[in-house]
């Protein structure tokens, strides 16, 4: 019987970002090398590039990050999907508010209408569910914990580097960009480009999942608007002969219309507020705390950019699928190991 063999890669630096594999060659100092450049013929990096590299946060394996946060944030699918802090609250508030009215809508209202009344509301509803789940399972931009400095900086300690102001977090022990990144008191984690913590989607909304959150709010507001218009049409048509609330169809149409009228105002105002913040190139945290954003660029192009821009890499390392595994050695370098099963010989 042949033995199971384990093959190890020749130590390329492996980082996995949301399912994508990115290989990075590094020298002994941890500075990235150019493509095709090996450690033996590596040229010395300039001090500016080395300093820029030091500004990047340390990447951490998802199991280690889960221990750092004391399981406040969970993971599944080998670290590619995140279970947010308020998952239970989302399941018992957001989902019922979306599902229950649509059940009554399909049973009592849409059953007597033509098929083309189903299309707009159901399409927007499906996209709302998709972006809600995607926003929840996507890493918003969590910053892994660092090593405590000795001596510890003061509570209001700040420093400037490359035109940016950094503030030290005594919980996560990292220097984060003041005003742009923030320590979330609900998740107890520092988040890069923090916008706000949303219990309706069950997680933080920040730089990496802001576009999906914006898409969720936009599709949800259009779904509520389409449902409200359908119910208004039914109520208006039935009121010509006198509205009879003893009939389940007319009573359900009126109740769903009033329900949709309230929520279309709330969700619509939220959608308009998000659009204004995207246009002004600021986060909600910056607007509420009135932080001065010297790098903001007010333009309509920002709305197009947030819908088409690529997602920034995560600081949390996920394991690739199909039996590959990411391992981090004592120096903090990541490598892959692949298990190869040899066929067993007949006995």
pLDDT in tens, 94-144: 999 999 999 999 998 888 888 888 899 999 999 999 999 999 999 999 999
Nearest to 29 by CA among 10, 12, 44, 14: 44
In a domain, 48, yes or no: no
In a domain, 281, yes or no: yes
In a domain, 249, yes or no: yes
Supply the range of the domain harboring residue 210: 60-314
Residue 312: pLDDT band by 50, 70, 90 thresholds? confident
pLDDT at 327: 58
In a domain, 53, yes or no: no
Lowest mean pLDDT across 45-49, 113-117, 173-177, 213-217: 45-49
Q: Which two tokens stand for residue 327?
A: 């391992």
In a domain, 35, yes or no: no
Residue 185 has pLDDT above 50, yes or no: yes
DSSP 3-state percent helix, strand, coil across the chain (nearest 5): 40, 20, 40
In a domain, 333, yes or no: no
pLDDT at 48: 39
**Distance in angstroms (rounded) separating the CA atoms of residues 318 and 322:** 13
> What is the value of pTM for the model shown?
0.76
Burial class (CB in 10 A: 0-12, 13-18, 19+), 121: buried
In a domain, 329, yes or no: no
pLDDT in tens, 229-284: 999 998 888 887 777 777 888 899 999 999 999 999 999 999 999 999 888 888 88
Structurally, the chain folds into a number of domains equal to 1
In a domain, 165, yes or no: yes
Helix axes 118-137, 210-238, angle to 10 degrees: 150
Mean pLDDT of 339-343: 40
């Amino acid at each position: 019987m042949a033995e199971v063999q384990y093959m190890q890669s020749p130590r390329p630096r492996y980082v996995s970002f949301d399912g994508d594999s990115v290989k990075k060659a590094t020298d002994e100092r941890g500075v990235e090398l150019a493509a095709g450049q090996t450690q033996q013929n590596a040229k010395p990096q300039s001090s500016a590039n080395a300093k820029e590299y030091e500004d990047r946060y340390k990447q951490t394996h998802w199991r280690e990050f889960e221990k750092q946060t004391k399981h406040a944030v969970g993971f599944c699918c080998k670290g590619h999907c995140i279970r947010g802090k308020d998952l239970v609250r989302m399941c018992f508030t957001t989902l019922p508010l979306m599902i229950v009215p649509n059940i009554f809508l399909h049973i009592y209202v849409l059953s007597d209408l033509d098929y083309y009344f189903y299309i707009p509301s159901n399409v927007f509803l499906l996209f709302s569910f998709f972006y809600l789940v995607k926003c929840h399972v996507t890493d918003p931009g969590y910053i892994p914990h660092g090593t405590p400095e000795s001596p510890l900086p003061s509570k209001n300690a700040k420093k400037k580097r490359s035109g940016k102001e950094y503030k030290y977090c005594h919980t996560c022990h990292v220097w984060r960009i003041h005003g742009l990144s923030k320590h979330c008191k609900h998740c107890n984690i520092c988040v890069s480009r923090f916008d706000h913590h949303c219990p309706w989607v069950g997680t933080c909304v920040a730089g990496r999942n802001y576009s999906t959150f914006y898409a969720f709010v936009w599709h949800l507001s259009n779904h509520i608007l389409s449902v409200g218009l359908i119910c208004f049409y039914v109520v208006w048509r039935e009121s010509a002969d006198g509205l009879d609330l003893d009939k389940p169809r007319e009573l359900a149409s009126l109740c769903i219309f009033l329900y949709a009228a309230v929520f279309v105002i709330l969700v619509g105002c939220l959608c308009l507020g998000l659009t204004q913040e995207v246009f002004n190139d600021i986060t909600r945290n910056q607007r509420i705390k009135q932080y001065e954003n010297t790098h903001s660029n007010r333009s309509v192009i920002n709305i197009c950019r947030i819908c088409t821009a690529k997602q920034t890499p995560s600081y949390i390392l996920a394991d690739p699928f199909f039996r590959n595994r990411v391992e981090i050695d004592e120096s903090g370098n990541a490598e892959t190991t692949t298990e190869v099963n040899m066929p067993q010989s007949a006995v």
